[in-house]
Structure 1
Amino acid sequence: MSSGYVELIRLPSARRLIYALSSATISYGMVQLTLLLVVHKATGSYPISGVAVGAFAVCAGLSAPPRGRLVDRKGAHPWLPVMSVLYTVALVALDIAASLTSVAWPLIALCGAVGAVMPPLFASARSVWPQAVPPDLVRRGYAVTSLLGDIGWVAGPALASALFLGPWWIAPLVSAVTCLIAATLSTPQRDPTRAAMRPEPMPRLRESRGLLALLLVGVAFGTGTGIVQVATPTIAGHTGHGSLGGPLLALFALGSVTGAVWFGSRDSEGSSFARFLQTSVILGVLIVPVCLTSSLPVLAVTLFVAGIAFGPATVSIFEALDHLAPRAGTEALTWMTTAEGCGAAGGASLAGYLVVHVGGWSAFTIASVLFVVPAGLAILMHAGTRRRRAALQN
């Protein structure tokens, strides 16, 4: 580990933030599979369970920006604890309802309620880094945030699955408790050398072309990611190796962790938005081998290598939001995650059909195009704008 990361971990405010992010990623990493399995235990129907998870995702996505805005403008304390208590109540109510009835609609409604009150713990904790640590350690903090997110992506569902080997009602309680812990730890003491930032409304999209461009590219980026996440296990299952779906996605996450840690240890200059666009293009190029063949060994190597670009892309998004919406960090990230989430939902819906009816190569070809073309066009437009500005100045 580089000296920069050691220096970061030595700070009490950074350690507390890392603990908060760890708890949040465990809670949120396991919640969707937990909801799916709880509703299935009650109803015996995977289609109904899927609708319930869809209700959760829709309500979480629609309510995320308002919840982020509330935390930015009114403060993390007491709103994060209040939301986490409501989140816990909704999960406990779902637990109780699932033990009492197999009727679908109240279970679906409760899953929607879980999403609607889900506290923006990850977004809020991320926005605290510039205030919690010195400027030269902020990128390391963002890299740790990306790393923990990737670990939660893999470990959360695995933990949920393991807990369902015992009494089924335990998993929702674990998700609730880890959320409460994260909310308690998500407001660390600020670095006394850093001035506290006064919250401001997020810039209007029509007044911030950079933020609008970031969100639009984020939709394409999320769509490509959703395709990769669903196409990978679908290819494994379609070739008779369904058990390899999880390990293959874990390789992608491992690559992302590797890339984020390496990128976080570097001191780069220039536009963070441009770095995001560049890493998106690189990611799209790196998955091209799977467009040519869907063999599992090629897929495994490609996913790990492509993940190395995915991690820096995530860190660059965090840095770009600091520049484009410096005093509305929580709301800005919730808008970005909503944009990526909408894209991911569309990509996930498309990926399975493409793999089964066209071929695995088609899904990854579309993902590659989505990573490369929108970001590439944005790079060209940004370069053209810079040339015009330079010409006007001369």
Structure 2
Amino acid sequence: MYAAVLRTPYALRTFGAALIGRLSYGTVSLSLMLAAKAATGSYAVAGTVMAVFGAASVFLSPLRARYIDRYGPRRALTPMALGYAALLAVLAAVTWRPGAPGALLVALALCAGAATPPLGPAMRTVWSQLLPDRRLLQRAYSLDGVAEELLFVSGPLIVGVLVLFAPPAFGVALSAGLVIVGTLAFVASPMVGAVVPADGERRKRARVVGRIKRPVLVTLGVGIALGAADLLVLAFAEDRGRADAAAWVLAALSAGSAVGGLVNGAVDWRRPARTRLTLLAFGLAAALGAAALAPGLLALAGAAACVGLFVAPALTTAYLLADEVVDPALRTQAGAWVNTAVNAGSSGGTAGVGLLVGHAPLPVCFLVAAAAPLLAGLFGVVQAPPAIEERGAGQSPVTRTPAVRPQSSSPSSSAE
């Protein structure tokens, strides 16, 4: 099953390298926030630093992905990673001791966010190149999504341990080291070298945004629901006098997402990806709506786990659908747009429900949050199918260029 994916030549080596680099994204946010607070003594500055860092990283992701499609992962990712790591190293040095100017931290954070290498979309492009069989590609995307979920859970835990023994700036420096090591190992893989960028004329003829409206809007709805759920869980726990229990409820959501992702990748679905994506959006909306009826924290944790069951499958299916309906010359950009949609939706959902909490009962807030994936799923019902015919789960894509295999040199093994 999943072993077949990892037995593919160079798959484990390439995937393991990408995960090392992507662990940096799990450690950098908390590290940077704590370091900025320690250096300036101001939560306002720390919040501003994180806001500009996150916005630049999320909203410029499709632009950075465009360079990967244009020049190939090796030529595009290497300078991005070097610049990003250098800026993080400067941030670590500036925040190592108190007294750093807030304006300088904001400027450095903005530049670092703008240079963030999109390792997730790049890895999914490599998966698409490596695995022309759609069933194996679905499993690879599911494995990728579950691993990413675990990275974003384990990253803050690592930072929490580090700050017991070192200044928070050490976590920023660690993030710089992880992204350099992971990215350089990733681009050194023979499979990454086999990803050849399309010529300029083909890129000009290809379109991205119009073809991926459905996966982008559905993942936007999923992101809004997730961002709202994070804040609503905290508000629910505080309302019961158990703010510390919020972490356990959110852990149940992550666990549900991991289980859902693994199950989704193991099943050979007969329905096309666009139909599955709509049904998954409806399922997520129903589970989040059911959380409005939770009488206590234990019931809320159960509802959160049910919400999670739909999260990773929805995101995986959105990536698959985006990959199906765009020209292979633009597949990295397509994945980056989906990734941007879920992250932007998460930020917007947190901000929006934050304005609602305190003015409406919590059950009503949960129902409002559930409306986002519900409306996104309804859009998928009424929207016309994309111009490019979707392939079935077991078919090779008719518009995809054949997978380029590396030369027959013996692959070097790499642990995940």
Which residue number corresponds to residue 45 of structure 2? Answer: 48
Q: Which residue does the alignment assign to 1:313?
A: 314
Per the normalisation by structure 2, the TM-score is 0.84
Rounded to whole Å, the distance in 1 between the matches of 2:382 and 2:100 is: 55
- Higher mean displacement: 289-298 or 308-317: 289-298
Contact persistence 2:24–2:179 (CA under 8 A): yes
Partner of 1:19: 16
The CA distance in 1 between the partners of 2:177 and 2:123, in whole Å, is: 17
Deviation string for 1:22-52 (max 9, x for gaps)? 2133111121111110100111111211111
Deviation at 1:374, TM superposition (A): 2.3
The total of aligned residue pairs comes to 378
Counterpart of 2:394 in structure 1 is: none
The change in CA–CA distance for 1:116 and 1:195 in structure 2 (over 3 A counts) is closer
Aligned to 2:371: 369
1:35 aligns with 2:23: no
Aligned AA (1:110) = L
Which residue of the partner structure matches residue 337 of structure 1? 339
Q: Any gaps of 5 or more consecutive residues in structure 1? A: 386-394
- Kindly indicate whether the alpha-carbon contact (under 8 Å) linking 2:207 and 2:327 is maintained by their aligned counterparts in 1: no
Residue 174 of structure 1 aligns to which amino acid in structure 2? L
2:354 matched residue in structure 1: 352
Counterpart mapping for 1:185-264 below 5 A? 185-187=185-187, 188-190=189-191, 198=198, 200-201=202-203, 203-204=206-207, 208=210, 210-264=211-265
Whole-Å separation in 2 of the counterparts to 1:269 and 1:216: 23
Which of these residues, 56, 68, 71, is aligned with residue 71 of structure 1? 68
Contact 1:217-1:375 at 8 Å conserved across structures: yes
Cα displacement string for residues 337-379 of structure 1 (whole angstroms, at most 9, x for unaligned residues): 2222222211111223433442322332112111112212321
Q: What secondary structure does 2:267 align onto?
A: coil
List per-residue Cα deviations over 1:245-285 (Å, max 9, x = no partner). 22221111111111111110112234312211210111111
The answer to whether the 8 A contact 1:132-1:189 is kept is no
Are 1:57 and 2:54 matched, yes or no? yes
Distance 2:181 2:275 in 1: 36
SS in 2 for 1:293: coil
Which one-letter code corresponds to 2:244 in the other structure? S
Q: 1:368 to 1:294 in 2, by over 3 A?
A: farther
| Higher RCO, Cα 8 Å, sep 6+ | 2
| Residues 1-29 of structure 1, C-alpha deviations (whole Å, 9 max, x = no match) | xxx11222223421023213321331111
1:147 is matched with: 146
Q: CA deviation at 1:322?
A: 1.0
1:277/1:376 contact within 8 Å kept = yes
Separation of aligned partners in 2, 1:294 and 1:241:
14
- Displacement of 1:226 in angstroms is 1.1
Name the amino acid aligned to 2:145: S
What is the alpha-carbon distance in structure 1 between the residues aligned to residue 208 and residue 381 of structure 2?
A: 19
Q: Are the counterparts in 2 of residues 131 and 191 from structure 1 also a CA contact under 8 Å?
A: no
1:131 pairs with 129, 132, 137, which one? 129
Alignment correspondent of 2:112:
114
Report what 1:388 is aligned to.
none
Distance between the aligned counterparts of 1:266 and 1:198, measured in 2?
33
Following superposition, the deviation at residue 311 of structure 1 comes to: 1.7
* Residue identity opposite 2:171 in structure 1: A
Could you tell me whether the CA contact under 8 Å between 2:65 and 2:333 is conserved in 1? Answer: yes
- TM-aligned CA deviation for residue 380 of structure 1: 3.5
How much has 1:197 moved relative to structure 2?
7.3
Q: Distance in 2 between matches of 1:220 and 1:5?
A: 29
Structure with the higher helix share, 1 or 2: 1
Equivalent of 1:104 in 85, 102, 115: 102
Against the structure 1 CA distance between its residues 24 and 252, is the aligned structure 2 distance closer, same or farther, given a 3 Å change threshold? farther
Q: Cα offset for 1:100? A: 6.2
Give distance in 2, aligned partners of 1:113 and 1:248. Answer: 35
Taking the aligned partners of 1:357 and 1:157, their CA distance within structure 2 comes to 32
Of all paired residues, the percent bearing the same amino acid is 24
1:155 Cα offset (Å): 0.9
Q: Does the 8 A contact of 1:289 with 1:298 survive in 2? A: no
Does the Cα contact within 8 Å between 1:121 and 1:182 map onto a contact in 2?
no
Distance change (3 Å), C-alpha of 1:180 and 1:195: closer
Aligned residues of 1:275 and 1:316 also touching (Cα < 8 A)? yes
Is 1:90 the counterpart of 2:87? The answer is: yes
Q: What is the Cα deviation at residue 231 of structure 1? A: 1.8
Change (3 A) 1:366 1:17: farther
Contact 1:131 1:196 in 2 (8 A): no
Distance 2:62 2:70 in 1: 12
